[in-house]
Chain A
Amino acid sequence: MIKTTPRFARVISALVISTGMLSAGTAFANDDLIAKGKEVAWDRKKGNCLGCHMMGDGAQPGNIGPALVAMKYRYPDKAKLREQIYDSTKANPNSIMPPFGKHGALSDAEIDAITEYVYTL
Chain B
Amino acid sequence: MHKIVKSLLAASVAVSTSVAVAGNSDINNKDAMAMQEYFKNKLPGVEMSSLIHGAYALDESRFDQFMNIEEFPPYEDFVAKGEEFYNTPFKNGKSFADCFGDDPSAVKAKYPHWDSKKESVVTLEEDINKCLTDNGEKALGWKKGMMAYVSGYLATEARGQTINVVVPDDPKAIAAYEDGKKHFYQKRGQLNLSCADCHVYYGSSYVRSEVLSPATGQASHFPVYRQKWANGSPNEDGLGTLHRRYGGCNKQVRAKPFKAQSEEYKNLEFFHTSMSNGLEYNGPAYRK
Contact = CB atoms under 8 A, between A and B. Distances in A.
Contacts of B207: 51-52, 62, 64
B191 A51 contact: no
B208 A104 contact: no
B288 to A, nearest CB: 15
Interface string B215-256: 000000000000000000000000000000000000000100
Interface string A52-75: 100000001111100000000000
B206 A103 contact: no
Interface residues of A, number: 16
Contacts of B63: none
A103 B255 CA distance: 12
Q: Which of A51, A96, A99, A105 has the most CB of B within 10 A?
A: A96
Contacts of A99: 192
Interface of A: 50-52, 60-64, 89, 95-96, 98-99, 103-105
Interface of B: 190-193, 197-198, 201-202, 205-209, 254
29 contacts: A50-B208, A51-B207, A51-B208, A60-B208, A60-B209, A61-B208, A62-B205, A62-B207, A62-B208, A63-B205, A64-B202, A64-B205, A89-B192, A95-B192, A96-B197, A96-B201, A96-B202, A98-B190, A98-B191, A98-B192, A98-B193, A99-B192, A103-B190, A103-B191, A103-B192, A104-B190, A105-B190, A105-B191, A105-B254
